[in-house]
Amino acid sequence: MKILFAFALLLVGSCATLRHSEKVKNLKESIAYENEADVIKYLNTIKSDELQIHVEEIASPKYNGRKTGEEGHNRVCDFIRTYYKDHGIKAPESHPNYYQIVPNNVLPEELNDSQNVIAYIEGSEYPEEYVYISAHSDHEGIIDGNIYPGADDNGSGTAAVFEIAQAFKKAKMDGNGPKRSVVFLHVTAEEVGLHGSRYYTEHPIFPIENTISTLNIDMIGRVDKQHLDNEDYIYVIGADRKSTELHFIIQAANSNFVGLNLDYKYNDPNDTNRYYYRSDHYNFAVKGIPVVFFFNGEHEDYTKPTDTADKINYKLLEKRTKLIFSTAWYLANSPDRLSTGVL
């Protein structure tokens, strides 16, 4: 009896496994880009020299390290919204000056009011569904008389959002605009506790239940110690927690268009660094939204006054930005809305 019972269990177990691998296979095969030539056309508008211009501006000492609520950070937020105005990328109707004020009563005590900066391109077929590209705009400010330029953290992410927005805008001008709306979200107060993104998800400008996914970028311009011999990598964190499909879409985007090594080391739920909890995507995940965090890992200039624009690897920043754009393209244009199941 015992042996029979165990055998039956084994059978049930292996059937379940088979069904799972079959589902994974079907899901992977269902991910197909429709007009690859279009994706490539707009991918090619993402350029290392433009990324460099953006990073050099954002990390410039004139912004005094972009401390939340301080004058230097306010000026960089103004620079960000001017970028969108100049590119004809509009503000949300409810926030026509691109700013969502984050009041000081939700920030650590000593800080002034600050702001998230929000721009978006309206979808042509499903305008009520939203794909977010996010990056924090603040940094450490001035400590002991030293300006913390934060070129990688997070000039690199901010520059990537700019280039992705420009690529979608060019597509739209050609009549190839995204079917879903794409939101470009520059959150404040990340460095002091993810407050800007928390405030946004508590006071969303677009209905939170219509959020397809949030692709968060925080530090993608450098190479960490583990990859000095093979720098064509990016850490991909958290994509499979709420949507197995998102995890595979990133893989498809990468193999079709970019060819980076996707490193899942920090996606391990037991990883002691706990990066999944440490940048702005996490506040979207708390609301049940499929998220992913793109990250280069820590390096010797992380949160130091030496995180300067001349140390960014701009060719690599371009490749990583292309991965994020091609992922966003799929999410914004796929016939079916991203599924939220986890296999």
Which residues of the chain form contacts with Zn ion (CB under 5 A)? 153-154, 218
Q: How far is the CB of 219 from Zn ion (least distance, A)?
A: 6
Nearest to 185 by CA among 77, 286, 277, 86: 77
Residue 163 or 218 having the CB closest to Zn ion: 218
Find the distance separating the first CA and the last CA of the chain, reported in whole Å.
33
Nearest to 186 by CA among 147, 138, 123, 253: 138
Residue 153 or 245 having the CB closest to Zn ion: 153
- Torsion angle of the four alpha carbons 194, 195, 198, 200, in this order, in degrees rounded to the nearest 10: -120
Q: How far is the CB of 217 from Zn ion (least distance, A)?
A: 9
Instruction: Return the DSSP state at 311.
Output: G
Q: How far is the CB of 157 from Zn ion (least distance, A)?
A: 7
Q: How far is the CB of 150 from Zn ion (least distance, A)?
A: 8
Q: How far is the CB of 154 from Zn ion (least distance, A)?
A: 4
Q: What is the DSSP string of 217-251?
A: E---SS--GGGTT---EEEEESGGGT-HHHHHHHH
Q: How far is the CB of 160 from Zn ion (least distance, A)?
A: 13
Q: Which residues pair with 142 in a beta bridge?
A: 147
Residue 141 or 177 having the CB closest to Zn ion: 141
Residue 255 or 306 having the CB closest to Zn ion: 306
Residue 164 or 212 having the CB closest to Zn ion: 164
Residue 178 or 196 having the CB closest to Zn ion: 196
Residue 52 or 137 having the CB closest to Zn ion: 137
Please enumerate in sequence order all residues whose Cβ is within 8 A of that of 127, keeping only pairs 6 or more positions apart, or say none.
Answer: 180, 181
Q: How far is the CB of 24 from Zn ion (least distance, A)?
A: 33
Q: How many residues does the chain have?
A: 343
Looking at residue 24, its amino acid is V
Cβ 154 vs Cβ 293: under 8 Å: no
**Residue-wise burial string across 145-184, b where 16 or more C-beta atoms lie within 10 A, e elsewhere:** eebbbbbbbbbbbbbbbbbbbbbbbebbeeebbbbbbbbb
